[in-house]
A and B are shown apart, each in its own frame.
Chain A
Amino acid sequence: GAGVSQSPRYKVAKRGQDVALRCDPISGHVSLFWYQQALGQGPEFLTYFQNEAQLDKSGLPSDRFFAERPEGSVSTLKIQRTQQEDSAVYLCASSSSGRSNTEAFFGQGTRLTVV
């Protein structure tokens, strides 16, 4: 498809388990973002890539969170030793340029539930 694709759509993890969330951006899009959306809240920025370079990871809540985009296309957000407070929808977005006036296109998100 032509949009941003995220997988899995739903993930249930036991506390302490590691998880990996995948994002396939729109082909050719330079910029890729990860956001965390807790229940009843707006999305909050986690990290940002321009091609394969991670330019901003200031929003990652702890060193248990790690993101990569090794070939400048697909990205993976990894959460180690999941905690209940990690339960949220994780949104991926991509945009065609490195400028802040460019529209970001969002995927449907991965809903992570930690039990």
Chain B
Amino acid sequence: AQSVTQLDSQVPVFEEAPVELRCNYSSSVSVYLFWYVQYPNQGLQLLLKYLSGSTLVKGINGFEAEFNKSQTSFHLRKPSVHISDTAEYFCAVSEAQGGSEKLVFGKGTKLTVNP
């Protein structure tokens, strides 16, 4: 079984500042890693995913994440945030290599960007 821990439930930050949202996972099998964003009253939208290869993954809206196998982490970063980045961010894993397609999510991190 897999589990995902998002260490910060809320992250306030000023506009144009950098931000890092932390994610750690636990799994006995290889996993794929995902970050989803949820704007108010919207469904989840995929930001980026790590399947294999380069450990630095770039996604939409200027976000990137780095997979660290030894630390079982997949932290999300953006060098300069905008007001419009205010949303809830979810880290998720799924079993790799023919495993179940279901996603296991963390509890989410609410990012608030202040002017």
B24 to chain A, nearest CB (A): 14
Contact status of A45 and B102, CB under 8 A, knowing A40-B107, A100-B32, A101-B32: yes
Which residues of B29-50 are within 8 A (CB) of A? 32, 36, 41-46, 49
Which residues of A67-115 are within 8 A (CB) of B? 91, 93, 95, 98-109
Contact status of A109 and B43, CB under 8 A, knowing A42-B90, A100-B32: yes
Chain B residues, Cβ within 8 Å of A40: 107-108
Task: Let me know if A51 is at the binding interface, CB within 8 A.
Answer: no
A39 to chain B, nearest CB (A): 11
Determine if A103 and B49 form an interchain contact, defined as CB atoms under 8 angstroms apart. yes
Q: Report the count of interface residues on A (CB-CB < 8 A).
A: 29
Which residues of B20-77 are within 8 A (CB) of A? 32, 36, 41-46, 49, 51
**Interface CB pairs A-B, < 8 A, 11:** A33-B102, A42-B105, A42-B108, A48-B101, A56-B100, A100-B95, A100-B99, A100-B101, A101-B96, A104-B103, A108-B43
A42-B6, A103-B46 known, 17 other contacts, Cβ within 8 Å? A42-B4, A42-B90, A42-B92, A43-B105, A48-B101, A48-B102, A91-B43, A91-B44, A93-B44, A100-B96, A100-B98, A104-B101, A105-B43, A106-B44, A106-B45, A108-B42, A108-B43
A residues lining the B interface (CB < 8 Å): 3-4, 31, 33, 35, 40-45, 48, 56, 59, 91, 93, 95, 98-109
